[in-house]
Chain A
Amino acid sequence: MAIREDVLVVGGGLAGMSAALSAAETGATVRLLSHKKSTLRHASGLVDCLGYSGDDGPFADPYAAMDDLPDDHPYRIVGESAVREGFDRFDSVVGDSYRGGHTDVNALIPTQAGTIKPTARYPASMAAGLASDTRSTLLVGFEGLSDFDAPLAADRLAAAGVPFDVRGVTLRFPKKFRADAKLTRYARALDRDEEPDKDRAPRFDGVRRALAELVRPKLDGAERVGFPSLIGDDRNDEVRDDLEERLGVPAFELAASPPSLPGVRLESRFLAALDEAGVRRTTGNPVVDYESADGAITTVYTDNNGQRVPYGADQVVLATGGLVGKGIGSSRESVREPVFDCHIPHPEDRYDWSATDAFGDQPFARFGVVPDDDLRPLDAAGETEFSNLRAAGSVLGGADFAAQKCGSGVSLATGHVAGERAGALI
Chain B
Amino acid sequence: MDGTVAVIGGGSTGTGIARDLAMRGFDVTLVEKGNLTHGTTGRMHGLLHSGGRYAVSDRSSARECIEENRVLREIATHCVEMTGGLFVQKEGDADEYFEEKLEGCRECDIPAEVVSGEEARAIEPYLAKDVKRAIRVPDGAIDPFRLCVANAASAIEHGARVETHAKVTDVLVEDGAVVGIEVEHESGPGKRVHRKPGTVEEIRADYVVNATGAWAGRVGAMAGVDVEVRPSKGVMVVMNTRQVDTVVNRCRPKGDADIIVPHETAAILGTTDEEVEDPEDYPEEGWEVDLMIDTLSELVPILQEARTIRSFWGVRPLYEPPGTGTTDPTDITRDFFLLDHDERDDLPGMTSIVGGKFTTYRLMAEKISDHVCEQFGVEAECRTADEPLPGSEDIGNLDEYMDEFGLRSPIAKRSTKRLGSFSPQVLGGSDPNPVVCTCEAVTSAEIDKAIDESGTDLNAVRLRTRASMGNCQGAFCCQGMASQLHPTYDEPTVRDAYDELYQERWKGERHGLWGEQLSQAALKYALHATTLNRDRDPAARESDLDFAAFDDGRTATNAGTDVSRSERETAADGGRRPTSPNGDSDGDS
Contact = CB atoms under 8 A, between A and B. Distances in A.
A111 B506 contact: no
A240 to B, nearest CB: 10
A324 B519 contact: yes
Nearest to B289: A332
A235 to B, nearest CB: 18
Interface in B393-426: 406-408, 411
B126 interface: no
Contacts of B476: 257-258
B239 to A, nearest CB: 14
B584 A146 contact: no
Given A105-B551, A402-B525, A111 B495 contact: no
Most chain A beta-carbon neighbours within 10 Å: one of B528, B554, B572, B578 = B572
A354 B476 CA distance: 20
A106 interface: yes
Contacts of A136: none
A147 B565 contact: no
A74 interface: no
- Chain B, interface size category, equals 35 or more
B107 to A, nearest CB: 42
A117 B568 CA distance: 21
A180 B552 CA distance: 36
A353 B513 contact: yes
B503 A358 contact: yes
A44 B526 CA distance: 10
Nearest to B526: A402
Q: Is the interface of A mostly helix, strand, loop or mixed?
A: loop
A59 B432 contact: no
Given A106-B551, A111-B533, A147-B480, A160 B538 contact: yes
B547 A144 contact: no
A146 B579 contact: no
B282 interface: no
A402 B411 CA distance: 33
B575 interface: yes
Contacts of B436: 146
Given A257-B476, A324-B526, A162 B435 contact: no
B196 interface: no
B586 interface: yes
Interface stretch (A124-132, A269-277, A289-297): A124-132
Interface residues of A, number: 95
Given A58-B586, A144-B434, A159-B539, A113 B479 contact: yes
Contact of B494 (A146, A152, A405): A152
Interface in A38-77: 42-44, 46, 48, 51-52, 56-61, 64-65
Most chain B beta-carbon neighbours within 10 Å: one of A103, A114, A147, A163 = A103
Contacts of A102: 555, 571-572, 574-577
Interface in A259-308: none
Nearest to B554: A133
Interface string B496-529: 0000001101110010011100110111011111
Contact of B530 (A108, A112, A250, A407): A407
A184 to B, nearest CB: 15
A108 B350 CA distance: 61
A113 B503 contact: no
Contact of A364 (B444, B513, B546, B556): B513
Contacts of B411: 180
A1 B91 CA distance: 50
Nearest to B445: A179
B433 interface: yes
Most chain A beta-carbon neighbours within 10 Å: one of B476, B533, B576 = B533
A324 B533 CA distance: 17
Contacts of A160: 537-539, 541, 545
B535 interface: yes
B534 interface: yes
B518 A323 contact: yes
Contact of A60 (B523, B539, B575, B583): B583
A349 B551 contact: no
A347 B474 CA distance: 27
A56 B550 contact: no
A256 interface: yes
Contacts of A324: 519, 522-523, 526
B518 A364 contact: yes
Contact of B552 (A130, A178, A332): A130
Given A61-B579, A324-B522, A358-B502, A115 B553 contact: no
B118 to A, nearest CB: 31
A61 B586 CA distance: 7
B531 interface: yes
A120 to B, nearest CB: 9
A354 B532 contact: no
B548 A356 contact: no
A350 B411 CA distance: 36
Contacts of A44: 530-531
Most chain B beta-carbon neighbours within 10 Å: one of A147, A162, A244, A356 = A147
Contacts of B253: none
Most chain B beta-carbon neighbours within 10 Å: one of A102, A127, A156 = A102
A383 interface: no
Nearest to B545: A161
B286 interface: yes
Nearest to A326: B519
A133 B552 CA distance: 5
A344 interface: no
Given A115-B534, A323-B522, A330-B515, A60 B286 contact: no
Contact of A403 (B293, B408, B535): B535
A415 interface: no
A243 to B, nearest CB: 12
Contacts of B495: 156, 159
Interface in A95-145: 96, 99-108, 111-118, 127-128, 130-135, 143-145
B530 A64 contact: no
Contacts of B503: 357-358
A258 B527 contact: yes
A244 B565 contact: yes
A180 B555 CA distance: 42
Interface stretch (B256-264, B318-326, B484-492): B484-492
B544 interface: yes
Contact of A159 (B492, B518, B533, B555): B492
A255 B544 CA distance: 22
B480 A103 contact: no
Interface of A: 42-44, 46, 48, 51-52, 56-61, 64-65, 91, 96, 99-108, 111-118, 127-128, 130-135, 143-149, 151-152, 155-163, 178-180, 244, 250, 255-258, 322-324, 326, 329-332, 349-351, 353-354, 356-359, 362, 364-365, 401-403, 405, 407
Interface of B: 286, 290, 293, 406-408, 411, 431-436, 443-444, 476-477, 479-480, 483-484, 486-487, 490-492, 494-495, 502-503, 505-507, 510, 513-515, 518-519, 521-523, 525-539, 541, 544-556, 562, 565, 568-569, 571-580, 582-588
Given A60-B585, A105-B551, 14 more contacts: A57-B588, A60-B587, A64-B583, A102-B572, A104-B576, A115-B534, A132-B553, A147-B479, A160-B539, A161-B544, A255-B531, A323-B522, A332-B293, A365-B525
16 contacts: A58-B536, A60-B582, A60-B583, A60-B587, A102-B575, A106-B551, A118-B533, A147-B480, A151-B486, A152-B491, A180-B411, A250-B565, A255-B532, A401-B530, A402-B525, A402-B535
